[in-house]
Amino acid sequence: MIIAKLAFKSLVNRRISALLTVLAIAFSVMLLLGVEKIRTGARQSFANTIAGTDLIVGARSGAIQLLLYSVFRIGNATNNLTWQSYQEIAAQDAVAWIVPLSLGDSHRGFRVLGTTTGFFEHYRFRRDRPLTFVAGAPFADLFDAVLGADVAAALGYQLGDPIVVAHGLGEVGFAQHDDKPFRVAGILAKTGTPIDRTVHISLAAIEAIHVDWQSGARIPGQTVTADQVRAMELTPKTVTAALVGLKSKLATFKLQRWINDYPDEPLSAILPGAALQELWSLVGTAETALGAVSIMVVATALLGMVTMVFASLNERRREMAILRSVGAQPRTILGLLVAEAGLLGLAGTALGALLLHLVLLALRPIIDARFGLYLELGWPSGAELGALAAIVLAGLLAGLLPALRAYRLSLADGMMVRT
């Protein structure tokens, strides 16, 4: 206790250099914990891209491929799911709801998704958050479109604006469905999921814009106007995939096995949570790099602390000699310098954790609204507490280097005047 008080008073006497060292450690700790918060938030946001959906059904393919094109709008399906098979799956007793997905078109580089209004009702993300509208409502007319937040922001669309869907997935669509333009009927709130980069139209609208098309081009000599197509039967023959919600989780594996063994066509039913974890294991290496960078920043701050203590030793030679002359043992000098390093590390760690929480408290709503990244604010997790304890311990160990040097300084060396 006496050594701790003496160390504190010594730091107060050198308050400027001590404060700078504490700030350096604090900012590095804030960066370390901030990266950890972002890494955890990114993983949770990724894992919660889709929630509340028990199965994703599509043509026979790998789990990751089915997840990529049905949820992340990346790539294309190997084949489609027939409407008859879709209806048979929907008729199963275990199925509470089912939502069809139809992909293949785009608008100025953004994917177009054909679906039903049930998509806005049943889709969940970030555990159990529903889709919400910042403007407008789900499509009510055949040629209504609902935009994701990023689409509306990037292209400057507002309610009532006309948009034209292009055939295919190119950044610039040369095969335009310009004879059947859509109207922006709704704009979704930011979710931090691929929905933000998607244009949603009705499943019937997907059929409507393709009634006079074949093999990726208009049928020569055949033109069906937007008014004429409203009177036509627009039941699809196929869809790309389907999201399925079950009445009971206990029926998940039974229905999955039934779909995977479906006799009429080769189908796959995947668990979205398991597929997301598998995908994260492939793309999550960036979080390791972020962690390594933050650790190096903390190491640099601790090295600065050691440098500061070393630099002050030459100025404190007489102080150490006076302490020795009044009876202080070499181990007292050792303990003093180690205690100073520990106090610097503890103060910097505590200040860094406090600053991070204050910054998160101020910026979390902005980060959530602009980037769709939800960062939880609460007590440090076990991993974070372990990291903080490791930093304090590293500070103590770093203080040993200058302390051992001071330990070896003799009384005569301290009292000697160098010329």
Q: Which of 67, 328, 104 is nearest to 209 (CA)?
A: 104
Radius of gyration of the chain (CA): 32
- Whose tokens are 């507002």? That residue is 158
Tell me the CA distances in angstroms from 288 to 35, 92, 114, 203, one per residue in order: 10, 44, 37, 41
- The pLDDT confidence band at residue 410, using thresholds 50, 70 and 90, is very low
Average pLDDT of the residues in 141-159: 95
What is the pLDDT, as a whole number, of residue 172?
Answer: 54
What is the pLDDT, as a whole number, of residue 318?
Answer: 63
Q: Which residues contact 81 (CB under 8 A, 6 or more apart)?
A: 57, 58, 59, 238, 239, 240, 241, 242, 265, 267
Taking the domains of the chain in order of start, what are their residue ranges? 2-46+285-415, 55-270
Tell me the CA distances in angstroms from 215 to 175, 210, 223, one per residue in order: 12, 10, 15
What is the pLDDT, as a whole number, of residue 189?
Answer: 92
Bigger pLDDT: 298 vs 227: 227
Please compute, for residue 55, the number of CA atoms within 13 A of its CA located in the half-sphere on the CB side: 31
pLDDT of 269 strictly over 80: yes
Q: Which residues contact 66 (CB under 8 A, 6 or more apart)?
A: 56, 58, 77, 241, 268, 270, 275
What is the pLDDT, as a whole number, of residue 309?
Answer: 64
pLDDT of 412 strictly over 70: no
Model confidence over 74-90: pLDDT tens digits?
A: 888 889 999 999 999 99
What is the pLDDT, as a whole number, of residue 411?
Answer: 47
Pairing of strands 144-147, 182-188: parallel
- Whose tokens are 């200058």? That residue is 402
In percent, the amount of the chain with pLDDT more than 90 equals: 39
